[in-house]
Amino acid sequence: MPVPSPVASRLKLAALFGVFLLPVALAWGMVEWRLGIPEARTAHGRLAPPLPALAAWPLAGEAAAGGDWRLVFDCPADCAAEADRWWRLHRALGREAHRVSRLRIGGAGAPLPGASAARWEAPPVWRAPGRVWLLDPDGRPVLQYERDVATDQVLADLEHLLERNPAPPRAMQDD
The 10s digit of each residue's pLDDT in 103-149 is: 999 988 888 888 999 999 998 999 999 999 999 999 999 999 999 99
SS3 of residue 13 by DSSP: helix
In a domain, 165, yes or no: yes
Stated pTM of the model: 0.74
How many structural domains does the chain have? 2
In a domain, 174, yes or no: no
Residue 17 shares a structural domain with residue 88: no
Instruction: List the CATH number of the domain containing 76.
Output: 3.40.30.10
C-alpha span between 27 and 60 (Å, rounded): 52
Domain membership of residue 162 as a residue range:
46-169
- Secondary element (H or E) of residue 37: none
Residue 90 shares a structural domain with residue 146: yes
In a domain, 143, yes or no: yes
Residue 163 shares a structural domain with residue 79: yes
Average pLDDT, the chain: 87
Residue 67 DSSP one-character state: S
Residue 9 shares a structural domain with residue 77: no
Nearest Cα neighbor of 82 from 163, 1, 148 is: 148
What is the tens place of the pLDDT at every residue in 70-86? Answer: 999 998 877 889 999 99
Residue 13 shares a structural domain with residue 97: no
C-alpha span between 40 and 10 (Å, rounded): 45
CA distances from 3 to 6, 7, 16 (A): 9, 12, 20
